[in-house]
């Protein structure tokens, strides 16, 4: 009976650890859609992205309110929301995925772990399977996610008007950085 109790205790402890979640609501996401012929930088940043990582399983999720992207130019920001991502119809972008071979990451040891993430990106009412490389940095118990990847606008039904096709890149470079805290619940 004692052995059974100890076994159940170990099992339940393992289960909690496996599902331990870390998160932030101030993840930084920026994108750059500048072409080599564009006279100005077409880029924006937000620092209000929600990021959640389930340590044991490697499940990860990002969610960002599209209107929160800030541009240096007001007209660009209006065009981005009204004509490109149509944020009034599709207010958020989301990624739901899985860190491959997540079990190999030692969260107790300071290190920069190279990882591959695979999952589904939801943007502009369309979804696309994507795979990207990134790092999980462990720094004195803090978890920092970072990744840079490219999205093709046509995969998400976002059309670039002919008049600006030499200025707005079809391939958009996305950069993400999120410093996660443990979810104490």
- Residues making contact with another protein (CB under 8 A): 23, 25-26, 46-48, 50, 52, 61, 63, 65-68, 70-75, 77, 91-92, 183, 185
Cβ-based nearer residue to another protein, 63 or 135: 63
Query: Minimum distance between the CB of residue 71 and another protein, rounded to whole angstroms?
Result: 7
Report the alpha-carbon distance of residue 31 to residue 29 in Å, rounded: 7
How far does Cα 184 stand from its chain's mean position?
A: 22
Strand pairing category for 168-182 and 92-99? unpaired
Query: Minimum distance between the CB of residue 86 and another protein, rounded to whole angstroms?
Result: 14
Cβ-based nearer residue to another protein, 1 or 75: 75
How far does Cα 86 stand from its chain's mean position?
A: 20
Residues 6+ apart with CB under 8 A from 178: 24, 27, 28, 49, 51, 62, 144, 145, 146
The answer to whether 119 touches 60, Cβ cutoff 8 Å, is yes
63, 54, 126: which is closest to 89 by C-alpha? 126
Cβ-based nearer residue to another protein, 73 or 135: 73
Query: Minimum distance between the CB of residue 180 and another protein, rounded to whole angstroms?
Result: 12
The answer to whether 168 touches 151, Cβ cutoff 8 Å, is no
Query: Minimum distance between the CB of residue 146 and another protein, rounded to whole angstroms?
Result: 15
Query: Minimum distance between the CB of residue 50 and another protein, rounded to whole angstroms?
Result: 6
Report the alpha-carbon distance of residue 168 to residue 33 in Å, rounded: 6
Cβ-based nearer residue to another protein, 109 or 184: 184
Cβ-based nearer residue to another protein, 39 or 162: 39
């Amino acid at each position: 009976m004692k052995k059974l109790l100890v076994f159940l205790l170990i099992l339940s402890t393992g289960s909690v650890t496996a599902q331990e979640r870390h998160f932030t609501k101030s993840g930084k996401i920026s994108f750059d859609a500048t072409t080599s012929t564009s006279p100005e930088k077409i880029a924006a940043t937000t620092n209000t992205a929600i990021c959640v990582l389930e340590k044991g399983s490697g499940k990860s999720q990002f969610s960002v309110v599209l209107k929160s992207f800030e541009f240096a130019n007001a007209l660009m920001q209006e065009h981005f929301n009204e004509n490109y991502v149509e944020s009034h119809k599709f207010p958020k972008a989301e990624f739901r995925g899985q860190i491959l071979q997540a079990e190999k990451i030692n969260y107790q040891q300071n290190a920069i772990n190279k990882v591959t993430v695979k999952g589904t990106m939801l943007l502009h009412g369309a979804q696309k399977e994507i795979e990207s490389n990134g790092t999980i940095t462990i720094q004195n118990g803090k978890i920092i996610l970072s990744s840079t990847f490219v999205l093709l606008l046509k995969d998400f039904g976002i059309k670039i008007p002919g008049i600006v096709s030499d200025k707005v890149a079809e391939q958009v470079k996305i950069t993400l950085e999120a410093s996660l805290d443990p979810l104490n619940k």
